[in-house]
Amino acid sequence: MHIRELLFFTAGIGFLSLAKAKNILQGYSTPKTFDISETLKCIEYDIQVVEHWLSHLHNYTQ
């Protein structure tokens, strides 16, 4: 079981490195279309993201 955990850990580090390289080369591909100082829009956006995740979680656990 130890070898399996090491394999998953190594694969995770590899994928994390690839994601970081993509971010450095291409930048963030879908940035927010509004400024961080627009507090109400930020809150609404965050709530929408959480609702979206909860919807997917509900579908996944059915």
pTM over 0.75: no
Residues 24 and 37 in one domain: no
29 φ, ψ (degrees, to nearest 5)? -80, -25
Residues 22 and 37 in one domain: no
Residues 4 and 23 in one domain: yes
Quick one: pLDDT at residue 27? 82
* Residue span of the structural domain in which 19 resides: 1-29
* Banded model confidence at residue 56, pLDDT cuts 50, 70, 90: very high
Quick one: pLDDT at residue 36? 86
| pLDDT digit string, tens, across residues 1-52 | 699 999 999 999 999 999 999 989 988 777 788 888 999 999 999 999 999 9
Is the pLDDT assigned to residue 58 strictly greater than 70? Answer: yes
Domain count, the chain: 2
Name every residue whose Cβ is closer than 8 Å to that of residue 53 and which is 6 or more positions away in sequence: none
